[in-house]
Structure 1
Amino acid sequence: MSEDHDHEPELISPVNPLPPVVVALFLMIIGIEAIFSLASRGLIGGAGGIGWRLEALQTYAFSGPIFDWMWNNSQWPTEHLIRFVSYMFVHGSFMHALFVCVMLLALGKMVGEVFTGFATLAVFIVSGTFGALAYALLLDDQAPLIGGFPGVYGLIGAFTYLLWLRLGQMGAQQVQAFTLIGFLMGIQLIFGLLFGVQNDWLADVVGFITGFALSFIVSPGGFTRLREKMRRD
């Protein structure tokens, strides 16, 4: 009896690989944090390694006072401009970085499977940049802004856009797409009441809004869809 190999079913992996850009962001964040964590325990860097995290925060964290100085003096040195992005890759502790990485992998996978790698990276970086800008312009906070949450919230905004689009195609109420961000903001409010409110929530919210708005342009067919909508309106 002959065997027919032409119609054998294709094996489908139950786990789709993570988008490369998400893996790259994850490795950068967790790699930097691993260096700081090992150094703080004296495992690398010797006695000087204990201060590596503090030195990195002083050099790469986003600073409202430094932004005010640049704004007032109309001077924009590169070493300070990079803080708009670099702050997202330095964290206050291992747990801080871990929470960012978990959300980055989850949201980055869902967004990166639809968006191109460039679009996914743009959402993360631009959302974090606008989050820092809002932190500087709307607040007078002396505390530095650190951590990747504003960029992650940008990915939440992009994911919300995808849900919003899908619900619209199904004829369902599109406001349901904002359930996730409402839930997360509720958790932040509870933590704020329990442990003290920190103003970095503003950068997260602006990151979310930026990610949602940017998705109208960088999502597949997004610019064409936006142009058609503007013509109809």
Structure 2
Amino acid sequence: MSDPRPKGPGDSPVNPIPPLVLAIVAAMAAAEAVFQLGARGLAGGPEAIGWRISTIQQFGFSNRAMTWMLETGQLRIDYLVRFVTYPFVHASLLQAVFAIVMTLAIGKFVAERMAGWAVAILFFASSIFGALVFGLIYPDGPGLIGGFPGVYGLIGGFTCLIWLQLGAIGENQMRAFVMIGVLLGLQLIFGLLYGNNFTWVADIGGFVGGFLLSFVLVPGGMARLREKLQRR
């Protein structure tokens, strides 16, 4: 999976993070910075304390809004846009920091094997798919915010790359699912300890969407998948 091209004397041994991934992270950080400034009274005046709540209400994914569109057959732009805006709004500074760090780390790994635009597509498509799954399973659910369905989509891309790599060298491909298994195990533990709002369903949806989509986005992925299926 490594790049076979020779490195020139001016080439960096570490691939830079693609600009589109940095743009996603910058948007998350900018939104959280505004919320923090408002909450501390450093911007916006007294009403700024409620900026996070009002932004969640306006840009967070709404299960009920999706259910309404499905039941009425009507599409509203202000509801549809929530599928791509909710990843940039987080419930707390800690949630935002985790989402930013994981997007950078996993996004950089995936970007070393895919084009930068492909990683951005992976993030947004997984976010949309995760929200769709969550909305269909829990039509009266609590809504969805945060970048984690998109992050799990990137983890799905990471898993796909490892799966293909292990298959190419004849190793057990189930080892590729170790990361997602550990993360889901941790989510289960935290859910039992602190309560569960079932938004992990969106994370799993993001992972599955990212894993499957990566076969299209990674160079040669579909060919190797077809070869694998033909052997069976």
Equivalent in the alignment of 1:20: 19
- Conservation of the 8 A alpha-carbon contact between 1:112 and 1:120: yes
In structure 1, what is the Cα distance between the partners aligned to 2:198 and 2:226? 36
* Cα shift at 1:218: 1.1
Please give the per-residue CA displacement for 1:142-187, whole angstroms capped at 9, x wherever unaligned.
3110000000000000000110011111111000000000000011
Equivalent in the alignment of 2:123: 124
Q: Unmatched 5+ residue regions in structure 2?
A: 1-7
Bigger mean CA deviation after superposition, 216-225 or 10-19: 10-19
Rg comparison, structure with higher value = 1
Equivalent in the alignment of 1:5: none
Please give the per-residue CA displacement for 1:99-137, whole angstroms capped at 9, x wherever unaligned.
101110110000011111121111101111010001111
Equivalent in the alignment of 2:47: 48
1:91 pairs with 2:81: no
In structure 2, what is the Cα distance between the partners aligned to 1:142 and 1:20? 34
TM-score (norm 1): 0.91
In structure 2, what is the Cα distance between the partners aligned to 1:106 and 1:224? 27
* Cα shift at 1:230: 6.3
User: What one-letter code is carried by the residue in structure 1 that aligns with 2:59?
Assistant: Y
Q: Residue 91 of structure 1 aligns to a residue in which SS?
A: coil
Q: Residue 96 of structure 1 aligns to a residue in which SS?
A: helix
Equivalent in the alignment of 1:69: 68
Equivalent in the alignment of 1:150: 149
Q: Unmatched 5+ residue regions in structure 1?
A: 1-8
Distance 1:23-1:156 versus aligned 2 partners, 3 A rule: same
* Cα shift at 1:222: 2.7
In structure 2, what is the Cα distance between the partners aligned to 1:13 and 1:68? 49
1:201 pairs with 2:200: yes
Aligned length: 225
1:80 pairs with 2:74: no
User: What one-letter code is carried by the residue in structure 2 that aligns with 1:207?
Assistant: G
Equivalent in the alignment of 1:135: 134
In structure 1, what is the Cα distance between the partners aligned to 2:138 and 2:34? 32
User: What one-letter code is carried by the residue in structure 2 that aligns with 1:147?
Assistant: G
